[in-house]
Structure 1
């Protein structure tokens, strides 16, 4: 059997802990080299995945496109605007595919992810966690100065005041959402009146503009069984939904 025809399963079965098998003539193309080979949407030469430098993201394009289309059709059918989280792929090209399919924007977990997305043409970005250190706050406000579609989250009055002061110092108004704790106690302010009071504070601060709220129950993903997972998710979002109603009633 030639090395080039060896299957992944056979490879894993046949190699020892210290053994390493590679096909012949591996070049290890870098990202820049691969981009240079991609001209006007066409690869100028055939390149095997074995010739890529690592790390390299390899996807089945048909499956990827089908998954994006299914997500978009499902959310659209239910009257929901989708904003997928880019931490699942951390790839601006995939983020652009999601936007092209109809998503209103993408999410990022960190300011560095948001910066990378913006540098590659993604302009509708919601950062779902709170910037708390002076350095991160400064970077976030620098990004907001260039990216009008950048939205940040906050979950405390003290942090909101810091964000407002930083925005004012740069001569901008930062768009902010209130992060609601669904019960997992990872991040977020208590739903109900505490969240409403934070929203009212944001609305009064000169450097901030209230854009709404967010609530994410990451723990529900680990509940086994679809029905059990769905029930916990819906149960934990009741308080967030009630908080949204409070926001609406307060104007």
Structure 2
């Protein structure tokens, strides 16, 4: 949002002070007015009041017309700027002649001197007129808010997605990991001590499984040699007893 341009303070033109023109009388019998009095125009159509205002440059200006209408009937008037009617205004009742209100209007002014006239269109004429405020440019809307950046205003931090701490370990899981329990397969090369503990002797016969009784008989036969094996297989010299000698 860009900053709005600066506005000068309103310039006030009193209705009772020259070069203002009041088709009526200048009075001060009702309290609440500014300056030395107010304009009480004649109760007739065309009994106007006119102000001469100056503008430093051509452009938009906001007019503030302060008035009082002690009746319950609105008093309409045409707003004429530099000889051209630009708006039609209505000055409603304010409840009392000492109760003042302000009617605003936005007009275009030329650089230099300008005439602003209020010309009543009804037979009752104009309300009592206190003054005319002229503010060059338009007012900033009350709902707009502009915050001027300063050197001490910290810049907003850039947005970053939230993530886990860098020290937190993580692993990738495929859908198959959810279906089957994870199994850790150990290799013989992972534990050298285990490999040395289970090393087999050079003369071990892989055809006989460790942990069975047969491996002891097989190792005995290997160490005894072929002669021992043949002797163990030779027939015995003791005669086999007959049935007669073995008893009944």
Tell me which protein shows more helix as a share of its residues. 1
Tell me which protein shows more strand as a share of its residues. 2
Same fold (TM over 0.5): no
Largest Rg, 1 or 2: 2
Task: Name the structure, 1 or 2, with higher relative contact order (CA <8 Å, separation 6+).
Answer: 2
Question: Under a length normalisation based on structure 2, what TM-score does the superposition of the two structures give?
Answer: 0.18
Question: Under a length normalisation based on structure 1, what TM-score does the superposition of the two structures give?
Answer: 0.18
